[in-house]
């Protein structure tokens, strides 16, 4: 029973962590339909610059802010220079953002070096509580809280605010939003930059949990994020949160039984969802070729 509770807590924390990475992708891909292959690179940019800021200042708050600031700058530049030119052209999007990924990854290596950099959990969040066999790691609880805050805030912004309304309307019919005197391009830039900021936030949150940052973490996490968005369904922020939890739990339980299979289980989970429900569990738009 204790094992089960521990595994569930682990799974929840991992799930929330994946959701943090996926939330940005959920915005950009799920709502704008742009598959950003550089998402993992922005995530990594956030992680690296956060770790750097942490090592300089010993303040995790500053590290979070620095990571997100870098994410915002990188996202803004990427949108301005390239992504803007390929809205509505899916194949070109994949090709262009792949190029961005290559360039960003190399720039990161040039700036921070190609090696693994160790990072520790900030003292305030380090350690764990032992409740009679149930081990509660503080940083995991912190992750779950941050994940919940992002999920609730994102959901609130999308459903209750004017900007959220514009985004949802834009997903359905961009032209018509323009006709209503709204500058959709600016809205999309804003969404893209927010997505980048969330990716970077995911990066700096993930770094202490992994104990280190490395140049391969981008692509791996981007894939997990994509799996989560597909499972949760395009255009559903809450769906992505639930997808994250599902993937986190499935991973945690399999890791206990058969550690080698934990990634396989995600891919298989996605394959099953796509075969049975091509729109994802909570999705609106379809993944299947019409």
Binding to other proteins (CB under 8 A): which residues in 29-68?
29, 35, 37
Take residue 226 and report the two structure tokens written for it.
């994509």
Q: What is the DSSP string of 135-171?
A: EEEHHHHHHHHHHHHHHHHHHHHHHHSHHHHHHHHHH
Identify any residues that bridge with 118 across adjacent strands, giving them in sequence order. Answer: 212
Q: In the set 13, 151, 207, 270, which binds other proteins (CB under 8 A)?
A: 270
Q: How far is CA 137 from each of CA 57, 130, 143, 181, 206, rounded to the nearest angstrom?
A: 24, 9, 10, 50, 15
Distance in Å, CB of 241 to other proteins, minimum: 19
Residue 284 lies near other proteins (rule: CB under 8 A): yes
How is residue 282 annotated by DSSP? S
Distance in Å, CB of 207 to other proteins, minimum: 21
Contacts of 81 (CB under 8 A, 6+ apart): none
Contacts of 257 (CB under 8 A, 6+ apart): none
Could you identify the residue written with the tokens 């770790």? 51
Q: In the set 99, 127, 133, 211, which binds other proteins (CB under 8 A)?
A: 99
Window of 147-155, 171-179, 196-204, 242-250 that interacts with other proteins by CB under 8 A: 171-179
Q: In the set 123, 130, 132, 275, which binds other proteins (CB under 8 A)?
A: 275
Take residue 182 and report the two structure tokens written for it.
């709204």
Distance in Å, CB of 65 to other proteins, minimum: 27
Distance in Å, CB of 183 to other proteins, minimum: 5
- The 3-state DSSP class for residue 87 equals coil
CB nearer to other proteins: pick between 26 and 143: 26
Q: In the set 184, 198, 217, 273, which binds other proteins (CB under 8 A)?
A: 184
Q: What string marks each residue from 217 to 256 as x (binds other proteins by CB under 8 A) or -?
A: --xx--x--xx--x--------------------------
To 10 degrees, what angle do helices 60-81 and 184-210 make? Answer: 140
Q: In the set 2, 80, 85, 124, which binds other proteins (CB under 8 A)?
A: 85
Element (H, E) at 129: strand 128-131
Distance in Å, CB of 72 to other proteins, minimum: 21
Q: What string marks each residue from 112 to 151 as x (binds other proteins by CB under 8 A) or -?
A: ----------------------------------------
Q: Tell me how far apart the alpha carbons of residues 178 and 130 are, in angstroms, rounded to a whole number.
A: 56
Dihedral (CA of 257, 259, 264, 270) sign? positive
Q: How far is CA 233 from each of CA 70, 111, 174, 290, rounded to the nearest angstrom?
A: 28, 36, 20, 17
CB nearer to other proteins: pick between 78 and 144: 78
Contact footprint for other proteins (CB under 8 A) = 29, 35, 37, 82, 85, 89-96, 98-100, 102-103, 105-107, 109-110, 162, 165-166, 168-169, 171-173, 175-185, 219-220, 223, 226-227, 230, 260, 263-264, 266-267, 270-271, 274-275, 278, 284, 286-289
């Amino acid at each position: 029973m204790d094992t089960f509770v521990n595994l569930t807590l682990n799974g929840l924390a991992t799930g929330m962590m994946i959701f943090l990475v996926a939330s940005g992708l959920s915005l950009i891909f799920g709502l704008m339909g742009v598959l950003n292959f550089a998402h993992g690179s922005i995530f990594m940019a956030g992680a690296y610059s956060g770790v750097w800021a942490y090592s300089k200042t010993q303040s995790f708050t500053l590290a979070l802010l620095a990571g997100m600031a870098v994410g915002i700058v990188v996202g803004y530049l990427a949108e301005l220079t390239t992504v803007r030119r390929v809205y509505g052209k899916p194949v070109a999007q994949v090709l262009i953002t792949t190029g961005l990924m290559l360039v960003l990854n190399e720039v990161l290596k040039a700036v921070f070096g190609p090696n693994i950099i160790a990072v520790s959990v900030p003292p305030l969040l380090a350690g764990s509580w032992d409740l009679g066999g149930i081990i509660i790691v503080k940083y995991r609880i912190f992750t779950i809280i941050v994940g919940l805050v992002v999920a609730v805030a994102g959901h609130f912004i999308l459903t209750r605010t004017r900007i959220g309304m514009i985004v949802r309307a834009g997903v359905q019919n961009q032209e018509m939003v323009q006709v209503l005197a709204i500058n959709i391009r600016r809205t999309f830039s804003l969404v893209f930059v927010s997505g980048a900021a969330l990716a970077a936030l995911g990066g700096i949150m993930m770094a202490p949990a992994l104990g280190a940052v490395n140049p391969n973490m981008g692509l791996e996490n981007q894939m997990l994020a994509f799996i989560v968005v597909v499972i949760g369904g395009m255009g559903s922020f809450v769906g992505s949160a639930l997808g994250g939890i599902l993937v986190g739990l499935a991973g945690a339980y399999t890791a206990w039984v058969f550690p080698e299979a934990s990634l396989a289980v995600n891919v298989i989970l996605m394959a099953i969802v796509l075969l049975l429900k091509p729109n994802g569990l909570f999705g609106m738009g379809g993944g299947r070729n019409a």
